[in-house]
Amino acid sequence: MVYRRFSVGITLRIVGIISCIFAGIWLYLTEGMLLAPVILGLGVVALAGEMIFYVNSINHKLARFLDSIRYTDFSSSFTSDSKMGGSFREVNQAFNEVMEVFKKTRAEKEEQMLFLQVIIQHINTGIVSFDTDGKIGVINNAAKHLLQIPQFRSIHDLAKLSEKLLAEILDIKPGQRISFKVNPTLHLIIQSTSLKMGGKSWTLLSFQNINPELQSNELEAWQNLTKVLRHEIMNSITPISSLVESLRTILDEDSYVQQEGILIKKEGFLDMQEGLDTIANRSKGLVNFVNAYRDYTNIPAPSKELITAESLIENVCQLMKEEFKSKNISLQKTIHPPQLEIGCDPDQITMILINLIKNAIESLQNQADRQIHIRAIGQGDLGSLIQIEDNGPGIVPEALERIFVPFYTTKKTGSGIGLAISRQIMNLHRGSLTVDSEPDKRTVFSLNFR
């Protein structure tokens, strides 16, 4: 409707200008009036000027409207000029309505930003963002409290806290999670995310101090360990103490003092011999238990190198080749991509894989169809994955997590230390060892390398 009125207004003005021109020419040529063309010429100039003003008026308003959007200044309002008539009333009204929508949208956006800022400042997780130049964008109170860096304006200021931490941060990949111990009271878990905002690339870091949780878990671990040690030692010491008392009774009842020495009855002698053998065996078991605990607590730091998954898995399969053959086990291997490389300590990871494969073989001993599947999968920024899967009876849910507890075992024989050591090795690799099992279907142990 507005555009129709605008067209009619322009058309009428053009018709008026043309009419004045023809009227002036006609009056001059037919009537010889010299003054008429002059008067009508002034009318043409007035109509042309009014038409230019008429056209430019809407252009000025449109330019002002676009400038308001460009500079996010929504305080402007548009009113109709009485000289323009009512033709642009709808345009002014539309401009004002759009400006109100922009005002409302900006107000809602500002409220949301304020809400997010309040949340960021009040959460216990430290948040820090920085751009490609290292300039800090957002930092919340939790991060300031954790890092304790005065005038923290650039990510490079982290060097004031720890140069090694700065190197780890600059080397971190999007989606990666790292653990870094700054000092005895500050052990950080750091996670990275990348994003683009305002035409710039930003890195968003989250910091959590897990030291209090570690201390709590450490206390709980020591309490559990004390229970295990107490249980195992008492299981050994109690029968030993009882046997010693029995042997003392045998000596008192079945031995006689003679001039040549002490005479012991044959039956008593055999009882003493059996008792001493039992004490020796139980003592040996206690020593083995202590050695197993020592092995768990003295795992060396991994010596990492880049090795192809194919050579790592092939080496393990060659070592276990005869056992696969003798136990009639079908072996499958999958490596994707074929050139997948993993940064690890080959010796330590080989030990884990052998332990997991032996466990899988033992679980298959009562199965008619025996299958083991070894996979190595690249996951991009999420790292790499090695899986050992068997189609054995599986692990019952209540034992699923406890199998990684030191000295816990579901086997009739075994120390219960193998899986605990394996998980410890993966922790030293900054990875993880997890298990997923469906009873009577399958069991999958996964080594996650990040």
Q: What three-state secondary structure class fits 132?
A: coil
C-alpha R_g of the chain? 43
**Is residue 236 included in any domain, yes or no?**
yes
Q: 205: left (phi > 0), else alpha (psi -120 to 50), else beta?
A: beta
pTM: 0.44
Residues above pLDDT 90, as percent of the chain: 9
User: CA dihedral defined by 298, 299, 300, 301, rounded to 10 degrees?
Assistant: -130
- Of 81, 109, 137, which residue is a domain's last? 109
Same domain, 342 and 418: yes
pLDDT band for position 217 (cuts 50, 70, 90): low
Other Cβ atoms within 10 Å of 158 Cβ, number: 23
pLDDT tens, 128-179? 889 888 898 888 888 888 888 888 889 998 888 888 988 888 888 888 888 8
In total, the chain counts a number of residues equal to 450
Q: What are phi and psi of 285, to 5 degrees?
A: -60, -40
What does the block give as tokens for 82?
A: 């009485």
Highest mean pLDDT (candidates 7-16, 80-89, 234-243, 420-429):
420-429
pLDDT (mean) for 268-286 = 72
pLDDT value of position 410: 59
- Of 247, 271, 297, which residue is a domain's last? 297
pLDDT value of position 88: 57
Same domain, 437 and 315: yes
**Is residue 185 included in any domain, yes or no?**
yes
Return d(Cα 186, Cα 421) in angstroms, integer: 26
pLDDT tens, 319-329? 888 788 888 88
Same domain, 401 and 312: yes
pLDDT value of position 82: 47
**Is residue 197 included in any domain, yes or no?**
yes
Write the CATH number for 281.
Answer: 1.10.287
Same domain, 445 and 334: yes
Same domain, 7 and 63: yes
pLDDT band for position 1 (cuts 50, 70, 90): very low
**Is residue 223 included in any domain, yes or no?**
yes
Range(s) of the domain holding residue 286: 214-297
Write the CATH number for 425.
Answer: 3.30.565.10
- Of 297, 326, 352, which residue is a domain's last? 297
pLDDT value of position 446: 93
Return d(Cα 262, Cα 254) in angstroms, integer: 10
Highest mean pLDDT (candidates 64-78, 271-285, 433-447):
433-447
Q: In angstroms, what CA-CA distances link 158 with 128, 153, 163?
A: 11, 10, 7
What does the block give as tokens for 238?
A: 């109690």
Same domain, 161 and 96: no
**Is residue 253 included in any domain, yes or no?**
yes
Same domain, 19 and 138: no
Q: What are phi and psi of 160, to 5 degrees?
A: -65, -30
Inter-residue contact 390 to 398 (CB < 8 Å): no
Q: What three-state secondary structure class fits 125?
A: coil
pLDDT tens, 388-417? 999 988 887 777 767 777 665 655 555 556
pLDDT tens, 86-122? 555 666 666 667 767 777 777 777 777 777 777 777 7
What does the block give as tokens for 226?
A: 């004390």
Please state the separation of Cα 205 from the chain's center in Å. 11
Same domain, 79 and 153: no
pLDDT tens, 290-347? 665 566 566 778 888 999 999 899 888 888 887 888 888 888 999 999 999 999 988 8
pLDDT tens, 43-93? 777 777 777 776 666 666 666 666 666 666 656 665 655 444 455 566 666
pLDDT band for position 3 (cuts 50, 70, 90): very low
Same domain, 186 and 87: no
Same domain, 187 and 232: no
Number of domains in the chain: 4
Same domain, 230 and 148: no
**Is residue 115 included in any domain, yes or no?**
no
**Is residue 195 included in any domain, yes or no?**
yes
pLDDT value of position 83: 47
Kind plus residue range of the DSSP H or E element containing 24: helix 2-26
**Is residue 118 included in any domain, yes or no?**
no
Same domain, 225 and 190: no
Mean pLDDT (the chain) is: 77
Return d(Cα 60, Cα 216) in angstroms, integer: 70
